[in-house]
Structure 1
């Protein structure tokens, strides 16, 4: 359905009428509540505490997120897009997939996605074969997902809602991927997906690893900002 609304008008609606702001290319509440700030502080303290206990803690995290990839950069009217869901750790991309057109993205979908991720981890990360040898940093917490994680002894890292500035996929990976796509016009969705795949594969492992060091720095920045956004 074509709404014929300009990008400027959309931005105005999001920021002025809905009270949102942009953080790490995500629209989030302009002001966090006191409870949300306290939660961000607590989760930041949890990360710092775990790093003090185990210096390799950050490098055994598998984190995931999702982003839209477009046929035209910059976006144009009647644009074709595809949703990418990607998981990575300090060693490389662990699993990625593009959501099929028309797919209902709900709790059932995320549960099936999680099962595919776990199977993939068993194949490509044998060092994660033992229980509690890795941790998942992912924002989806439906009952179906949490029950599966508990039954399969998969440890998780608490992730505060509305916190893209604390999510490696948002503050690092997706920005790194989208940057070289700017100014391009792709022939079709398949071409978009291929370029996304190639760009992700070309990101050096040391940069991926550094993004987890950045997570520790951001946890400290979050505490210094008293739980508020710090960028």
Structure 2
């Protein structure tokens, strides 16, 4: 947001000119765009000036001011993260003596970092790892050219889906696809001999 005091001065100026709160809010939106105060806050400040307030500074708030999100703590968090990117927020809290929320805010708001542990991230491969992968693929390609039945020896096709508890997650994508094939064929009547 643009400076709150600067916008408060503008609200006070519009009030002294005799503009309404709605006109004042519209002018703020025009001047500051997306960084302007919201409608409720604009109306509240307009009401304060209407009730005789002369100061444009915000009132003191109760409670202790935040002391955790200082530039020194931001620098310490940045140093620790650069040393070891696998640190958890709890590790940072224990090391620096800050609260979990402060560490989380420093990481997300100040350093613009986010967790990506839940996603698959492409890992950068070293040159020798790339070379090893290439060699393995070439060997498999050569074996396939020499013996066309190579894949049938390696891959076994199970005629029915296995009923194992550790394969239960595949039920969600496998069985609906199997049902489609069943419903594509016309229903056959079973004749009993007798």
TM-score by length of 1: 0.22
**Structure with greater strand percent:** 1
Of the two structures, which has the highest relative contact order with CA contacts closer than 8 Å and spacing of 6 or more? 1
Using the size of structure 2 for normalisation, the TM-score is 0.26
